[in-house]
Structure 1
Amino acid sequence: MYPPTLREITIEISNLYSTQTKDKQLNLSMDELLTFYGILITCGYSSVPRRHLHWSVDSDVHNESISDAMRRNRFDEIMASVHVVDNTKITDDPFFKVRPIFSELNQSYKVMPFQEWLSVDESMIPYYGRHGCKQFIRGKPIRFGYKLWSLASSSGYMYHMEPYCGSHTLLPETGLGQGPSVVLGLAEQAQVPQSCKFIHDNLFTSLALLDEMTKRGYGSSGTVRQNRLFDVPFKPQKDFMKLPRGTTEVLTQGEKLLVRWKDSNIVTVATNMEEKYSETSVKRWNKKRRAFDKVQQPKCINRYNEHMGGVDLHDLQVSRYHISIRSKKWWWPIFAWSLNSALVNSHFFYRDVMGGTIDLVTFSRIVAQSLMQRFGTKPLSHGRRSLLAATVEDQARYDKASHWPINTMHRFQRCRRCDKRTTYACEKCKAPLHIECFKIYHGQ
């Protein structure tokens, strides 16, 4: 899902960036890059307040798999230089720094056959810094960040995404408005086969969109805003709200079926996938009776509720174990999101095609550990003790209880007091000490 071409681009441009800006050879290799990816994925399900704590020798935060795969300073060098675009080739595209990520992933995601039901919606990559394309969407779980127009299956597999950047958004203009242009553009760019069925919410749905989707051989269904029903002879909303729950109003325009249904609020759905109107029975909670009522619901609304949440499901899976390492670079959240998105798509492929049964966190751990153990290089030694370890040791050093010298049989330990070699150590403190230095060290 994260293609070799994108990895090769990352290696080439990262080495170039290090030479251009730091006048230093990074010499990033494929093994190091894959180990770097493994560490980032690990930080998604095993996070600490600061990333350097993963390499700490303190027992409460030490991560042996990370510290044995790559040295901390080498990780910092790679993270400071990782790039996918040459900075000397700036374009008008606001997302030029990450454009290869979207183009390569959109190609690699097509390895999964298109499912019958597809969902079109907007995704948000959280970002709270400053950027001209940062969006604010009130009422969303992620209110601030970069917005993506996304096409996914109803089960959550992402097929195609396009970042929204105003007039620079790389989607064809159809003259039908922003929402219909997004649906038609995603269908065209993703090369969706005919007979697939699109589900979209009221941001995208219009009667003109359904006509165009019918011409192209696609099924289309979605909720419709009231201000887009210009010439549709529905009852006034005030009169319709007074009717009992479960009341429906059905109109037909050519191959389009328009259904208005009274639930706790008014829901209007337009579809070109049903020739005849039909209903199904559903349960709805009655506050007055404090019990469930059986209500007749139009089948087109039932199908909409069943297949609409594909993009939201993908976003939910990405957010569960998202990479916790942060950076001040504006494009870093997109880079981190791309790894998580590819990981989620890989899990869907493993589950639906390969028949796997493990959950996402287990799948993430297997991928991360496999990358670090296969491509990582274990350092010859670990760094110096932290100030925390020395402070904790001093708490037990002067308590004058159960301190005994033992022979560790290790010849190359340095005495904590005189710094000469010794084979003895304190059984409680684990501090190497000569017998003659034992009492002085413990203040006895």
Structure 2
Amino acid sequence: MAGQKILSQDDIQKLLNIEGTSDDDMDYQSIEEESSSEGDNESAASEVSDYDSENFSDTEATAESERPISFLSHLRSNHTSYDVLWSQLYGPPIFRATMGLKRFKYLLAFIRFDDKATRSVRRQKDKFAPIREVWERLNTNFKKHYLPGSNITVDEQLIPYRGKCPFKQYMPSKPDKYGMKVWWACDSETFYPLNSLPYLGKEGGERALPGLGRRVVQQLTEPYQKTNRNVTCDNYFTDMELAQNLLSNGLTLVGTVRKNKGFIPVTFQANKSREVGSSLFGFTANSTLVSYVPKMRRSVVLLSTMHHSNTVMEDVNTKPEIINHYNSTKGGVDSLDQLVHAYMCKRRTNRWPFAFFMNGLDVSGVAACVVWMNTHPNWNADKHYSRRLFIQSVSESLVQVHIERRSNLGRVVSGEDTEGKEREYRSLLQSLWDEFWASGEGVEKEQD
């Protein structure tokens, strides 16, 4: 971003005011030339309903379509119709300057993330096949460009979606209720996404094997084994077997425990004889169990392989040290999901792979912002909306190439005075027209 020339709103408006072929006509004409091998417009439209295009480049479609989409999150316009966004009266000029509306809709209709020829074979073994390759690339890049701190949080995210999907979930405790569940491992301090695993439901019609939460944590934290980091998770994942497994692989665990676990003593359960604010501790050779009473007849049980003492923070809130540590590190994934919802490019769609793709763009924006802020700590440090400025800067950098390319299509030269070029162009046309009539050819053709 540094050192790049970003076109101002005035420059963009000047480009749009230049007379000539309209944006939509010019772009749609170029699309028809690119897709001429597919036949006429009717055959191309029929390919849209067939779920894919045989000859359209998925990579090009993904790269081009993500650039206008990235602006939706910054402007918080993900519920505004495309016709309004491209409107000359109501829409921001940056959309029309990037590409025509017809071309953008055409790209959205054809965008796919895998090879259609082999999809049916791959889907027999993998429900996630339509977007598996793209999602794995995201995971690889997340782990490649960031080294997490001492605490990692494992939790779930619900991607909002109400269309048809073989593994759609209903979670009443989530704001969006319906959607597709993804488990994330995040940095507890910066909320950077480290690794993810989509929940695909039952495989082959068989019931899921017990210990799903345990396997999820082991798989998500596998790249960070033998690093002495701590993993924080809730009672869906935590059990003694997981704690011992992580400990043998160089990781500690802190998490809440469900009351029905067999290793919890009866005295650790809630009863009316225990005082509010009291704590009970249990110790083994390498783990600690604590039961805390937040209110009458209720208790919270936590398991930790990181703490080995009965320390209670009397000077803070009279809670055990294990609970304070859990409270300070449990919100990594929830905070990531909150950041995604603050600036998201999600649009209504009937294709669940595209919903995953848009969520990947949003999560990637959070990850890129974390990396940028860590490498440039003084960048807009005095502004509380620095993340919005970052998304705006990235979006402008992505569309700048398209704006400059369109400005060179027989209209203006990028980086020069647009009004001056227009005057020169009109002057040249006028001189050619005068020479045409002065030569007498125009008179002869008029008489004929």
TM-score, reference length from structure 2: 0.72
Q: Shift of residue 29 of structure 1?
A: 7.7
Q: Which segments of 5 or more consecutive residues in structure 2 lack a partner in the other structure?
A: 1-33, 39-43, 381-385, 412-422, 427-448
Is 1:50 the equivalent of 2:84?
no
- Which whole-Å CA distance do the structure 1 matches of 2:54 and 2:231 have between them? 51
Match of 2:267 in 1: 234
Higher helix share: 2
Q: Note closer, same or farther for the CA distance 1:268–1:276 as it changes in structure 2 (3 Å cut).
A: same
Match of 1:153 in 2: 187
Letter aligned with residue 157 of structure 1: Y
Q: Note closer, same or farther for the CA distance 1:86–1:27 as it changes in structure 2 (3 Å cut).
A: closer
Q: Please point out which of 95, 99, 110 is paired with 1:81.
A: 110
Match of 2:167 in 1: 133
- Which whole-Å CA distance do the structure 1 matches of 2:66 and 2:176 have between them? 25
Match of 1:310 in 2: 332
Letter aligned with residue 92 of structure 2: N
Q: Please point out which of 326, 349, 352 is paired with 1:327.
A: 349
Q: Please point out which of 339, 346, 361 is paired with 1:339.
A: 361
Q: Secondary structure at the match of 1:205?
A: coil
Q: Note closer, same or farther for the CA distance 1:236–1:99 as it changes in structure 2 (3 Å cut).
A: closer
Structure 2 matches for 1:164-243, cutoff 5 A? 164-168=199-203, 177-188=211-222, 190-230=223-263, 232-239=265-272, 242-243=273-274
Q: Shift of residue 370 of structure 1?
A: 1.3
Q: Note closer, same or farther for the CA distance 1:282–1:74 as it changes in structure 2 (3 Å cut).
A: farther
- Which whole-Å CA distance do the structure 1 matches of 2:54 and 2:261 have between them? 59
Q: Please point out which of 156, 163, 174 is paired with 1:122.
A: 156
CA distances 1:166-188 after superposition (whole Å, capped 9, x unpaired): 2449xxx9x87111111112122
Q: Secondary structure at the match of 2:303?
A: strand
Q: Note closer, same or farther for the CA distance 1:160–1:336 as it changes in structure 2 (3 Å cut).
A: same
Query: Identity of counterpart residues, as a percentage?
Result: 23
Q: Secondary structure at the match of 1:98?
A: helix
Letter aligned with residue 21 of structure 1: E
- Which whole-Å CA distance do the structure 1 matches of 2:148 and 2:346 have between them? 32
Q: Note closer, same or farther for the CA distance 1:27–1:161 as it changes in structure 2 (3 Å cut).
A: closer
CA distances 1:46-86 after superposition (whole Å, capped 9, x unpaired): 2153112111111xx22111101111111111111111101
TM-score, reference length from structure 1: 0.72
Letter aligned with residue 186 of structure 1: L
Match of 1:274 in 2: 307
Could you say what the CA RMSD is over the residues aligned between the two structures, in angstroms? 3.0
Q: Please point out which of 339, 342, 348 is paired with 2:370.
A: 348
Q: Shift of residue 36 of structure 1?
A: 2.6
Is 1:162 the equivalent of 2:197?
yes
Match of 2:142 in 1: 109
Match of 1:62 in 2: 91
Q: Please point out which of 23, 41, 63 is paired with 2:70.
A: 41
Match of 1:298 in 2: 320
CA distances 1:92-114 after superposition (whole Å, capped 9, x unpaired): 21111110122101110011013
Q: Shift of residue 366 of structure 1?
A: 0.7
Letter aligned with residue 102 of structure 1: W
Match of 2:47 in 1: 21
Letter aligned with residue 343 of structure 1: G
Deviates more, 1:369-378 or 1:94-103: 369-378
Q: Is the 8 A contact 2:346 2:355 kept in 1?
A: no
Match of 1:378 in 2: 406
Q: Secondary structure at the match of 2:255?
A: strand
Q: Note closer, same or farther for the CA distance 1:56–1:199 as it changes in structure 2 (3 Å cut).
A: same
- Which whole-Å CA distance do the structure 2 matches of 1:67 and 1:266 have between them? 59
Letter aligned with residue 237 of structure 1: A
